[in-house]
Amino acid sequence: MPDIILFDTEYSSKALELALNNIGSLRPSGDFEISRNQLICTILKRMRRDSDSWDLNCQGNIQSIGKQLFNYLQTPINELDKENLDMIFSSCFRFFLEYELTHGIDEFESQELLKFALSNSDGFSHHAAVQIDFATKSMPLVFVKKLAKNAELVNASKLESTLQRTEDAIQKSNDSLSQREERIEALSVKLEKYETAFNFVGLYQGFDNLAKEKHKERTSLVNWLIVFGVLLFSVLGLELFVIYHNVADIEKAKSALWMAMIPSISLTVVLVYFFRLILVNHKAVKSQLMQIELRKTLCQFIQNYAETTSDLKGKNLEAWSKFEAIIFSRIVSDDEKLPSAYDGMDQLSSLITKFKK
């Protein structure tokens, strides 16, 4: 029979029901608040369902923070701010750990609660974080001291068993924390790799968008080349047509033909000028497309740029400088000013060898 009955009363049952309804009707923002509220509701439901067992196995926290917990549980819904919800969670966390130590509980639920509380300690309010820190580091030792001073514990072997179980629970908690830290570190390394890969994907996508614009520009220039080419040959064809149909009266029409030649020649010169101008622009766009495709190919090849820069620069400065010169050089329009696409291939081959190592 427990010394103090807290959970197995009508008053407590109503308070737990009220808290479940209020917290369940909240609309949390962010993963932290969603997980925190879900874990609170899970623990409160267990308290309501197994109230007599929680009274029997949580006497330590019932004496120290029992009234405080139910004061927080009866907070009106319009006053359930972050501070109150964090304090409800930290109080439930203390009860949960005591219940686990004295009675035992589902291992998966225990690990899930510990993982959330320890990995998100910075997200709680100051008072709640202090409670969580106390529960994980000091509370088990406090319970051991109380057990050691209890006059009813006459049997030394029972005390030794209790101490051993407590130490095992603490060790298990520490081992679980170490494993979680290792998993978090591994995930952090993976995220860094994904971030680097995403940066190169973004760089490739930028070049790809630019290539699409240049393809449209080249298509437009080709169409204009066709138009001016047709106009140029149309003028020449029209001149030949007129001469052919007036060949019999060539002497009579000679002066008129000479007069017509002046605008025809002028028009032809203008058409040739614009045709050549468009052709030069077409060649420039074609040259730019070649440079862009080279950059896209190199972006598909290069990985872990940020991680390997310092290492590769120390081992093969010339090879890495060639890669940077190509990727980050200006896209020029003049063929004579183009950086050679195959300049420094020996150095780039050396760079590939470094990546394979």
pLDDT, mean of residues 307-317 = 55
With a CB cutoff of 8 Å and minimum separation 6, the contacts of 254 are: none
pLDDT of 216 > 70? The answer is: yes
pLDDT, mean of residues 248-255 = 58
pLDDT of 284 > 70? The answer is: yes
- Residue 206: the pLDDT is 77
Residue 222 confidence class, pLDDT cut points 50, 70, 90: confident
Tens digit of pLDDT for each residue in 21-68?
999 999 888 899 999 999 999 999 999 998 899 988 888 889 889 999
- Average pLDDT of the chain to the nearest whole number: 76
pLDDT, mean of residues 313-328 = 62
Q: Where are the domains of the chain?
A: 10-150, 210-356
Residue 332 confidence class, pLDDT cut points 50, 70, 90: low
Segment among 38-47, 135-144, 196-205, 268-277 with least mean pLDDT: 196-205
pTM of model > 0.75? no
pLDDT of 324 > 70? The answer is: no
Residue 343 confidence class, pLDDT cut points 50, 70, 90: very low
Tens digit of pLDDT for each residue in 147-191?
666 545 445 555 667 677 777 778 877 777 777 777 777 776 666
- Residue 41: the pLDDT is 93
pLDDT, mean of residues 190-199 = 61
- Residue 256: the pLDDT is 58
Most confidently modeled of 83-92, 103-112, 282-291? 83-92
